[in-house]
Amino acid sequence: MIYDFFYNWFNGFLSPLLSFILGWVAVFIIGVLITLNIPIILGWVDRKLSARIQSRYGPTYNGPFGLLQNIADVIKLMGKRFITNRNVDTLVLNIVPVALSLLAFIMVFIIPWGNPNLILVSVPFNLLFIYIAMALSPLFVLLAGWSQNNKYAMLGGFRGAAQITTYELSLLLIFVGVGMLSGSYNITTIVNAQSHIWYIMYLPIMFIVFLLSSLAITERAPFDLPEATQELQAGWKIEYPGIRYGLFFIAEYVRLAIAAMLLVYLFFGGWNGPVLPDYIWFWAKTAVVTFVLMSLRWVFNRPRMDQLIKIGFNWLLPLSVINLLIVGAVLFY
Amino acid sequence: METVERLKSEFSSSLTSLPSTNANETLLLLSENEALKKLVKSISTEFDILFTLLVVDRPPEAFELNYVFSRYRDSALLTIRVNLNHDKPVIDSIAKILPSAEWEEREAYDLFGIKFRGHPDLRRILLQDDWPGRPLRKDFVVTDEIRNWTGLDLKF
Amino acid sequence: MKDSTQNKITINIGPVHPSTHGVLRFIVDISEDTIVKVDPEIGYVHRGVEKMAEMKNYNSFMPVADKLDYIAALNWEVLYADVIEKALNVSITPRTVYIRTIMCEIQRIMSHLLFLAHVGEDLGNTTLFMWGFRERELLMDVVEEVSGGRLAPMYMSIGGVYYDLTLSFGRRLLEVLDTIEHKVKNEYKAISYQNDAFRLRTVGVGVMSKEFGISHGLTGPNIRASGVKRDLRKDSPYLAYDKVDFEVITENDGDAYARFMVRINEILESIKILRQAIKEIPSGETKVKVPWFFKIPPKYTFVRHETPRGEAAMYLVTNGDLKPYRLKIRAPSFYAIQAIKDLLVGNKVADLVTILGSLDPVPGEIDR
C-alpha cells in the first residue's frame, strides 16, 4: 500500500489534508512512471523477440541494444502535427485515446506488483475493478469507430466491440470460478489461497480460455481484427495520428502486461514459491507468460471475424460454463 | 484437325485457310463478320479459352482482329482473323459465350476504339474515362499535350 | 453511402492499400460483412508498354519487357528474346538454352517465395512474410552474381545472354537450393501449411471450380490448383524442359489452400529441375551474333511460355521495319483479376485479401 506509506510519512510532519494531497500526488507520479515504462520495456522485448523469430536484428541504433528505440518513438509521436479531419465528432474523437489510456492507468493503480504491499492504492475487490476497467473498452472502441466518419473505422469499431464483448463473457466466468475457489475477489486473497496448489490444476480449461481471451481483449495479433492492417488498413485507429496513436500504443502494452500478471495471479500462484523472495518469483513467472503471449503473435495468422466469434461462443463460453459447474459441484460436496 | 474440317463445311463460303508461321497454329480468315458469334459458339466446346485477342491497326483499310483460341488438353491454337471496316469498327461481342473475352474486348475498345455489340460492360479499362484518343491506333501521335496529360486542371 | 433498402455499404479497397499487391483498386459493395458486388479497377500502373514497343527498336524494348512483371523479370526477358529469335529464325546455342532454363526456374522459385510471403502478410502472419523474403534474398544474390542486377537483371540479350555463368555459380546455387528445400519442408510447414490457424483461413475459401477457371481463362498454378493438368513446360516444351524430368503439380480442391500448396510443391519441383540442369549443362558459346539494329520481314510470330503466374504470350506483328508493327502481350494475371470479380461474390470481406493473394496478381503485367 504505497499510498498509505506516503500518507503516513507526510503525516509525520504535515497536516492530514496536505499529506492526503501530497500522498496522492506521489502515487500519481509513480503510476505515470510505471504506465509509461511498460510500453517502453515491453515494446523493446516485443521488437527484439519478433526480430529473433523472423531472422532480423530489430532495433539497434538508439542506445545499447536499441533499448532507447521506443523512447525515440514516443518523442517522434509527440512531435507530430495534431491533425483532425473535417466532418468528425471532434470531442468523442479526442476523448477516446485519453479514456482508454486512463483505463489502463486505473489498472496499474489497483493491481499488486509482485507483493501484497507493492500496490499503489488498495481496493477491496480489485479483481472486479480490473474487470470493469477492461469491460469498458468496447464502448470506447465503438465510439472511436463511429466518431471518425470513415467506413474502415466504423467496420473496425463494430468488429472491436463484438470481439471484446464476446471474450469478456468467458473472462467474467473465469473470474467467477476463481472467486468461488478462493472465496474472494481480492487478488491478495486469491494468491494466498494458492500457497499449496496452483489453480491451473483445478482450472486447466479455464487457463486456455483465459489465454485466448486475454489476447482477444488486448487486441493483439493474432486477434487484432479490429485494426487488421491488411483488411481495414488500421481499423478504428485509422484517423488517429501522432500522440493519440501513441496513447493507444501505451494502453495496448499496459493491457498486455496486466493480462500476463492476471494469468500469473489467477493460475500460477502469483508470488508463491520456495527459497527465493516473492517478487522474484512473480516477475519470473510474469516474464515467461508475457513471452508466450507475445510469441503467439508471430506464429499464428489472424482468424476471420465470424470464426473468431464462433470460437468465442461455441467453444470458450460453454467450456467456461462447464468448468464453472464442475468447480461448483466439487465445492458443494 | 477435325474441328477445322467441320468448321469449313459449316461456314464454307466465308472461311478460308491461311498459312501460319507458328507451330500448332491453325489460321482461318473469316470474311463474314456477322458469323463470328455463331462460329465461336460452335467451337467453344472444343477450344475453351480465348487465349488472347490481337488487334492490328492497318490503316486505311481495316482493323485486323485475331482471336487466338486455345484449349487446355493440348497445345493446339486456332486463330480466327476478322477484318473490320476502319471507319466503323463494330463487331459482335463474344463475352457472353466465353467470359475470358470480356476484358480483352474492353481493352480493344479502350486502346483501339472498337465497339463490341452486346458487351455486358463496355467501359475503358486501362486508361481513364476522359483520356484523349485511342493510343494504339496508328494515327495516334504522341504529342507534348499527351505526355503532360494528367486528367486534372493542373498547370506545371 | 448507405442504401436503406438493402443495407449495403460501398467500400473502396485500394489503389493504396496494404494488401493489394501493388496498385489495384476494388470497389466492393458489402452487406453485413459479405461481398455482394466487386468492381476491379486496373490501369494505375499503365505505362503503355505495347505503344512503347511500336516506338522502339527491337533491342531497346528489352529493358521494358524486363519490368513488365517485376517479380518474374527473367521469365519475361526470356519470352521476349524468344519471340524475336523465332521471328528472326535465329537458333540459340545449347548452353544458352540451359542457362535460360536455369534462370527461368530460379525466377520461378523467387516469385513463388514472394507469393508465400505475401499470403502470410495478407493473413496477418508477418513471420512468413519475413521468411519468404529471407530465402528469396539468397537467390537474389545468385542472380546478382551472374547478371549484376537483382530485381530487373537485364540478363537476356537477343541471341543469347550477356554474360556466361560464373565459375562458382553451380556450387553456390546448389547450396542455396539445399537451404531453401530444408526451410520450405520444415519451417514453412510449421508456420503455414500444417498450421491450424493458417488452414482455418485458407481451406475452403475462394473455391474455384474447374469449369469456372477454364471459362475465365485462368492458367498456371491457379488452374492447376483446380485439378487441370496443364503446364506449357510439359505440354509444348520450350527451352530445355523436354530434357529434364519433373512432374506437373496439381491439386483438386481449387481453394486458396490448394493454390498455396501448388506453389509450395512447385518450388520443390523447380529445385529438382535446377539440380538436373546444373548437372547437364553443356559447355560452349553463350551468344549468337545478332546485330544491334535489324529488320524483321512481315510475319506473325506467336510465342507462349509458362511464367510463375501462368501462360504468358507475346504476339509479334512485323512489317519489315526496324521496329515492331504491333506487339500484343498476354499477361496471365490479367485473367486472374478478371475472374476475381465473380470469384469474390458471397465471400467475407476478410477473405478478399486471402483470395486476391492466393491468385498472385502483379499489377505491372496486368496494366502493362
Q: C214 and B72 in contact by Cβ < 8 A?
A: yes
The C-alpha atoms of residue A250 and residue C186 are separated, in whole angstroms, by 37
Q: Say if C322 falls within a structural domain.
A: yes
C146: pLDDT strictly greater than 50: yes
Q: Say if C223 falls within a structural domain.
A: yes
Q: How far is B71 from chain C (nearest CA, A)?
A: 9
Chains that touch C (3 or more CB pairs under 8 A): A, B
Which CATH number belongs to the domain containing residue C136 in this structure? 1.10.645.10
Percent of all residues in chain C with a pLDDT value above 90, rounded to a whole number? 2
Is residue A306 less than 8 Å (CB to CB) from chain C? yes
Q: How far is C121 from chain A (nearest CA, A)?
A: 8
Per-chain mean pLDDT for chain C: 86
Per-chain mean pLDDT for chain B: 80
Is residue C125 less than 8 Å (CB to CB) from chain A? yes
pLDDT of amino acid C1: 46
Domain with C223 in it: 2-357
pLDDT of amino acid A233: 74
Neighbours of C316 (CB within 10 A): 24
Domain with A77 in it: 2-332
pLDDT of amino acid C68: 84
Sign for the pseudo-dihedral over CA of C62, C67, C69, C71: positive
Kindly tell me whether chain C and chain B come into contact, counting contact as 3+ Cβ pairs under 8 Å.
Answer: yes
CA A125 to chain centre: 18
C234, with CB counted inside 10 A (0-12, 13-18, 19+), is: middle
pLDDT of amino acid C57: 87
Q: Say if C367 falls within a structural domain.
A: no
pTM: 0.87
The per-residue DSSP string of B106-135 comes to HHHHHHH--EEET-TT---SSS-TT--S-T
pLDDT of amino acid B7: 72
Pick from A303, A55, A50: nearest CA to C187 = A55
Give the mutation candidate from B51, B102, B124, B140 for the C interface (greatest C CB count, under 10 A): B51
Is residue A152 less than 8 Å (CB to CB) from chain C? yes
**Average pLDDT for residues C223-244, to the nearest whole number?**
86
**Average pLDDT for residues B68-81, to the nearest whole number?**
83
Inter-CA distances, B51 with B118, C77, C145, C159, Å: 21, 20, 37, 27
Judged by DSSP in three states, B73 sits in coil
Query: In chain A, which stretches have pLDDT less than 70?
Result: 229-230
pLDDT of amino acid B155: 56
Number of domains forming the structure of chain A: 1
User: Considering only CB atoms, which chain A residues are within 8 Å of C352?
Assistant: 231
Number of domains forming the structure of chain C: 1
C231: pLDDT strictly greater than 60: yes
Judged by DSSP in three states, C208 sits in coil
The C-alpha atoms of residue C22 and residue C122 are separated, in whole angstroms, by 13
- What is the pLDDT confidence band of residue B153, given thresholds at 50, 70 and 90? low
User: Considering only CB atoms, which chain B residues are within 8 Å of C338?
Assistant: 99-100, 102-103
Range among A32-41, C77-86, C228-237 rated most confident: C77-86
Q: What would the pLDDT profile of B92-119 be if each residue is shown by its tens digit?
A: 888 888 888 888 888 888 888 888 888 8
**Average pLDDT for residues C218-243, to the nearest whole number?**
86
The C-alpha atoms of residue B151 and residue C15 are separated, in whole angstroms, by 17
The per-residue DSSP string of C238-306 comes to -TTTTTS--PPP--SS-SHHHHHHHHHHHHHHHHHHHHHHHHHPPPS--B----SS----SEEEEEEEE
Neighbours of A178 (CB within 10 A): 26
Q: Which domains does chain B have, with CATH numbers?
A: 2-141 (3.30.460.80)
Is residue A313 less than 8 Å (CB to CB) from chain C? no
Pick from C240, C219, C213, C218: nearest CA to C231 = C219
- What is the pLDDT confidence band of residue C2, given thresholds at 50, 70 and 90? very low
- C-alpha dihedral (B4, B6, B8, B10), degrees to nearest 10: -150
B25-30 vs B77-85, strand pairing mode = parallel
Q: A228 and C351 in contact by Cβ < 8 A?
A: no
**Average pLDDT for residues C238-246, to the nearest whole number?**
86
Q: Say if C365 falls within a structural domain.
A: no
C51: pLDDT strictly greater than 70: yes
